[in-house]
Amino acid sequence: MEKHVIELASSYAKQAQAEELDLLRKLARIPAPTGHEEKRAAFVRDWLLAAGADEGAIAVDAAKNVVLTLPGADRGSCAVFSAHTDVVAADTEELPFTEDEGRMYAPGVGDDTANLCGLLMAAKWLLANKPQLKRDVLIVTNACEEGLGNLRGTREIMAGLERRGVRAESFTSFDLYLGKHITGAVGSHRWRVRCRCAGGHSWEDAGAPSAVLAASRVVCGLYALPLPYGAKTSVNAGCVSGGTTVNAIATEAEVLLEYRSANQENLEIMRKRFEQMVGDLRSPGVDIETELIGERPASPASEPEGQAELIAAGDEAIRALTGTEPVHQESSTDANVPLSLGVAAHTMGAVAGALLHTRDEWIDKASLEPGLALTLGHILDTQVLELS
């Protein structure tokens, strides 16, 4: 990374810190449960217009993604830079927000609201300075990254590019914490399993089929499945419910479960083993119904063209602009989708904090400065033809 890019990005991040903190105070309060990000989408669109974006350059699509297009020399290709607007908190009213001298606290403040603010502030610099870009740059604040959102926002971004005949050269997501560099995609299949039977009285009908027993066998069967080799694979039964009272044989029970892997082939192996296991458990008087409620792609067998160069550029930016050594990890992020489509993609963290996915989540206010420097610096380093 060239010295003047480091100096420019670092200087802007220092100068913009107070404004970024103020932006975070506003955004962190806006509720955005997965699938209901419309309030944040409206705020982001209005903020970008106020920051100097032309109305025709901003689109809010059916998935509630906000997309700002900055035109470059090659209009037939683009580079995507994204951060997600949704949070795991189910609140539909204003989110609780507090701060002290060093920290800000709110559900979702670090995952992913602070990273989102850094991307918006980088977009503001680009709008004000209008550097010459190699190709179109898409600044995307996307929906549905969390939980059963199933990466619907990013799927719509990639599908929209395909419909328009625009080639995605690279995809960078800003998510998680400083130093983390997600270079591989952990995919998953998530299932709802419903068990039903006639039920009855625990004494008078003793021995009759039980939905709770059937659900328990599904859980035990899941954990007994042999795991494929080649990449880490895991299983989890996250929720079990059913029955009515202690002295009634349960007529209904339900399990929510998943298996994950960093290898797409392993996911398909696990699907066959899971479906075979459930089939073996079906018996007269017991109905077991499965529903695939979530599917995230894992890393493909072959690395996309340009992946190694993109990862190297991300590593260099992390070292040069945050002073930390990048730690390569596999995880489930918005980058899963482009990777599965053969597009070079990765995710970098741009904030420090802890307790993500809890009501006590917090971020370190001072970390916004190196995080913004990383965000802007990586865009400039990879996409700008010439800086004046």
> Mean per-residue pLDDT for 256-271?
96
Mean pLDDT of the chain: 97
| Per-residue pLDDT tens over the stretch 53-94 | 999 999 999 999 999 999 999 999 999 999 999 999 999 999
Nearest to 141 by CA among 125, 131, 154: 154
What confidence score (pLDDT) does residue 388 get?
Answer: 66
**Which residues, 6 or more positions from 144, have their beta carbon under 8 angstroms from its beta carbon?**
34, 35, 37, 63, 64, 84, 86, 150, 151, 152, 153, 154
Nearest to 122 by CA among 322, 364, 369: 369
| Per-residue pLDDT tens over the stretch 93-137 | 999 999 999 999 999 999 999 999 999 999 999 999 999 999 999
Tokens, residue 161: 């590019």
Number of Cβ within 10 Å of residue 13's Cβ equals 25
Domains of the chain: 3-185+298-386 (3.40.630.10), 187-296 (3.30.70.360)
Q: Do residues 242 and 215 lie in contact, with contact meaning Cβ atoms separated by under 8 Å?
A: yes
| Per-residue pLDDT tens over the stretch 343-370 | 999 999 999 999 999 999 999 999 999 9
| Per-residue pLDDT tens over the stretch 282-329 | 999 999 999 999 999 999 889 999 999 999 999 999 999 999 999 999
| Per-residue pLDDT tens over the stretch 319-334 | 999 999 999 999 999 9
CA separation, residue 184 to residues 146, 280, 335 (Å): 18, 34, 8
